[in-house]
Amino acid sequence: MREELREEATAAAATATPTFFQPEHRYAHSQWHFHCATVTAHPETGEQSAIGWLQISDGSWTTYAYSEAAWGDSWVDVTGQVTG
């Protein structure tokens, strides 16, 4: 089951229009910046979580995870842009 969930997450990541954070992409939302290091699925429910680095107000970075509920139109992929 775990391998099937991993394959589904990989297949979803290959779509032209992302429906969730993508590994090795950087996103901006309001004053927040999030660098997604990986996406994983809950071993029982299959709910996706994006794990990575969140830039906080003092400019430092801390580890953070976002669930599918956090994904939305307000996140902008800024990969390759200087975001601070």
Averaged pLDDT in 10-residue chunks for the chain of 84 residues: 64 67 94 94 95 93 94 88 64
Single pTM value for the model: 0.73
The SS3 of residue 50 is strand
Closest CA to 49 of 62, 40, 36, 58: 40
How many Å apart are CA 81 and CA 33, to the nearest integer?
A: 11
